Every structure is written in C-alpha cells, then in structure tokens.
C-alpha cells in the first residue's frame, strides 16, 4: 500500500540501515538517525521518511528495497552499510540484482571525494542505481561517512529524482 503524502510535492525518502549487529540489538543504529538529522537541516521543502533496520542478508535487502519502492512509493532510497569488502557486505549485489540500471557517477564521485580524507575510500563499493522509478543510493555504514558521501552527490539528486518520476508521453 503506497504511503499517503501530506503534500502533493512531498518527497518520500526511504532510509535503510543494513547491519547484522544493530538489527539484532548488539548496538544502537546510528546511520538512520545521522541521515535524518542531515535531511532535517538540508531540506526546506516538504518530506517524509520510511525507515528500516535490517541484517546484511542479500534477499532481505532486496525485499526491503522492493517494498520501499513498489509498495511504499519512495522517490529516493538511501542505504547505509554493507558496502565494504567484508564477505557479509552484500548491499551492492542486492541492489544490482533488482536495478534496471546503475548510475556509476555517484559511486565514482563518492570515492573520489572520500579519498581526500582516507586512503581506505578506494575499498568502498558505494553506488547508485535506478530501481523501477526510484533512485537508490548505497552509502557507507559509518554515520560520518554516510553523511559526507551524501553531501558529495546531493546536487545531482533532485534532477535525477525528477527525471525518474516523469510520466512518459505517448508518441
């Protein structure tokens, strides 16, 4: 069931924190709160959020993203976590499995800018892709890294979301 929006131009954002330990209560998730705070400061137009906290399981990631895109109707979905090199980090694989196209410039920009702060940025597998008519961006798991990477690509997001939401005209 698609979420009812309070305002017709309201942006509906899905935030998914992907962490085995946070999802089982070993520690408190900090990724979603950090992104919520960032959006609260960055957006002046109306917006709503749908949040999820899930383990690093590819099928669970795929199902959660499909729910946020198809059932809830999110315009933009951000994931945090699962983009490293550990064997449990499967977020990029999950997104690629359900995407209709990848947008490599997002990941390239995030890595390029992150390299200015840490040489380990080269290990990041951040990416963006189109799932149905929704932009999905995979951010690092560390809250500081997620917010920084989002700030590196934020200028491209509004246009991308707008283009993806356009209804094709018939010929």
Domains of the chain in start order, with CATH, are 11-165 (3.40.980.10)
The gap from C-alpha 116 to its chain's centroid, in whole angstroms, comes to 22
**Which of 119, 159, 161, 123 shows the shortest CA–CA distance to 141?**
123
Find out whether 54 and 60 touch, Cβ atoms under 8 Å.
Answer: yes
Please give the structure tokens belonging to residue 144. 């500081």
Predicted pLDDT at 136: 98
d(CA 45, CA 54): 29
pTM: predicted TM-score of the whole model, two decimal places: 0.94
**55-79 burial, b if ≥16 CB within 10 A, otherwise e?**
bbbeebbbebbeebbeebbbbbbbb
pLDDT reported for residue 46: 87
Over its length of 171 residues, how does the chain's per-residue pLDDT go in tens digits? 677 766 667 899 999 999 999 999 999 999 999 999 999 998 888 899 999 999 999 999 999 999 999 999 999 999 999 999 999 999 999 999 999 999 999 999 999 999 999 999 999 999 999 999 999 999 999 999 999 999 999 999 999 999 998 866 665
Pair 77, 16: CB distance under 8 Å: yes
Specify the pLDDT at position 169.
61
């Amino acid at each position: 069931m698609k979420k009812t929006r309070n305002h017709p131009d309201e942006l509906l954002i899905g935030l998914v924190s992907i962490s085995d330990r946070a999802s089982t209560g070993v520690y408190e998730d900090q990724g979603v709160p950090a992104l919520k705070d960032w959006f609260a400061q960055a957006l002046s137009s109306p917006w709503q959020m749908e949040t999820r906290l899930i383990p690093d399981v590819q099928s669970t990631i795929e199902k959660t993203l499909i729910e946020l895109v198809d059932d809830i109707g999110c315009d933009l979905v951000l994931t945090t976590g699962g983009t490293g090199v550990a064997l449990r980090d499967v977020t990029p694989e999950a997104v690629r499995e359900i995407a209709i196209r990848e947008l490599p410039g997002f990941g390239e920009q995030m890595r390029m800018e992150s390299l200015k702060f840490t040489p380990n940025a080269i290990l990041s597998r951040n990416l963006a892709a189109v799932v149905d008519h929704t932009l999905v961006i995979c951010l690092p798991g560390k809250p500081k890294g997620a917010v920084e990477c989002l700030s590196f690509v934020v200028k491209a997001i509004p246009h991308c979301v707008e283009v993806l939401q356009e209804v094709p005209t018939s010929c």
